[in-house]
Amino acid sequence: MSDKQIQARLGALLAATADVVMVLKPSGLVMVCSSGEAQWINADAVMGRKLEEFLPTDICGEITAAVVKASEKKKIIKTDLQLRPEHIPTLREQGLTETKWIDLHCNAAADDEVVAVFRDVSAKRRLERQVTSQAQRDPLTGAYNRRALRPVLEQAIAQAQRYDWVCSLMVIDVDNFSDLNDNYSWDCGDQVLQQLVTSVHGMKRTSDFLARYSDDQFVMFMPETNHEQGMAAGNRVRKLMEEMEIPYASGDVKFTVSVGVAALSGPEDDAENMLRRANENLFIAKQCGCNRVEGEG
């Protein structure tokens, strides 16, 4: 087979693939580049250049390490990359407008060269994240669910213990929720829960974590928050709900909540104990007439 035929077949293969394909030297020199269907790289702009000339040090290092390993081991080496336009101005100028997740496969070729295939798996990653998020969300309110809450609590509280930080959590319970459902309707009860979550999301910090814990009960974890601050946050939630009116066909609906607060206490404390104490304080608030916040003091 002549060199012309080989080149023709190589050109046809590259034209047929949607992936970005490069032939690289272990030094990072780009010998061949085909951009496939990718809009985030210009093949002509990178041909004959080294990776370090248009990629940041960390990404260049990951690719080079895979290329060198593939060249030495004579086998396919796989790794993944994340390309962010704000971190790669050169590719941003070439068309990288959004974050791309890339599966990189490197395979040794002849003459100390490696074929590197950059496969865009962004759509797949986004779908996986969406599915994961949906599995961790309450379908009615959009808040995280109980399943999502436990690992967050355990990890955050363990970290707070390790670095001697403070943290608190509150349990929010809608007062007389069954009466709302009986006197108005289940649809009204749903609207109350949805409005509660919307309102709490509007006042909470980005670092706070809100989850639906049971039918009419929510837990909000508050990092870097001592007991006094946790009580203040609980009172803001209580007051916000007390002042709220929800338009409904048979008349505006008003409701209140009771809140139990617990703060991290001592090196032996953990998520289970904090939740237990917060629920005990919630019970006290209910027993004292509802529309109250009770804590540990």
Give the CA distances from residue 221 to residues 87, 206, 231, in Å, rounded to whole numbers and listed in that order. Answer: 32, 11, 12
- Say whether 165 sits in a helix, a strand or coil: coil
Residues 112 and 178 grouped into a single domain: no
Residue 7: how many other CB atoms lie within 10 Å: 10
Residue 29: how many other CB atoms lie within 10 Å: 17
Reported as a single tens digit per residue, the pLDDT across 241-285 is: 999 988 877 778 899 999 999 999 988 899 999 999 999 999 999
Reported as a single tens digit per residue, the pLDDT across 62-81 is: 999 999 999 998 889 999 99
pLDDT for residue 131 is more than 80: no
| Residue range 193-218: mean pLDDT, rounded | 93
The residues, ordered by sequence, that sit 6+ positions from 178 with a Cβ below 8 Å of its Cβ are none
Reported as a single tens digit per residue, the pLDDT across 213-252 is: 998 999 999 999 999 999 999 999 999 999 998 887 777 8
Given a contact cutoff of 8 angstroms between Cβ atoms, the answer to whether 51 and 33 are in contact is no
Beta pairing, strands 217-223 & 167-174: antiparallel
- Domain membership flag for residue 63: yes
Residues 38 and 65 grouped into a single domain: yes
Residues 248 and 210 grouped into a single domain: yes
Domain of residue 111, CATH code:
3.30.450.20
Residue after which a domain boundary falls, among 56, 91, 125: 125
Reported as a single tens digit per residue, the pLDDT across 134-166 is: 678 888 998 999 989 999 999 899 889 888 899
- Paired with 114 in beta bridges are 24, 108
Domain of residue 224, CATH code:
3.30.70.270
- Domain membership flag for residue 131: no
Residue 267 lies in domain: 136-294
Paired tokens of 39: 């809009």
Residues 109 and 212 grouped into a single domain: no
Paired tokens of 122: 């962004």
- Domain membership flag for residue 130: no
Residue after which a domain boundary falls, among 94, 125, 156: 125
> How many domains does one find in the chain?
2
The distance of Cα 5 from the centroid of its chain, to the nearest Å, equals 49
pLDDT for residue 133 is more than 60: no
- Say whether 81 sits in a helix, a strand or coil: strand
Query: Cα separation of 59 and 151, whole Å?
Result: 31
Query: Cα separation of 292 and 170, whole Å?
Result: 12
- Paired with 116 in beta bridges are 22, 106
Paired tokens of 120: 């865009």
Residues 179 and 273 grouped into a single domain: yes
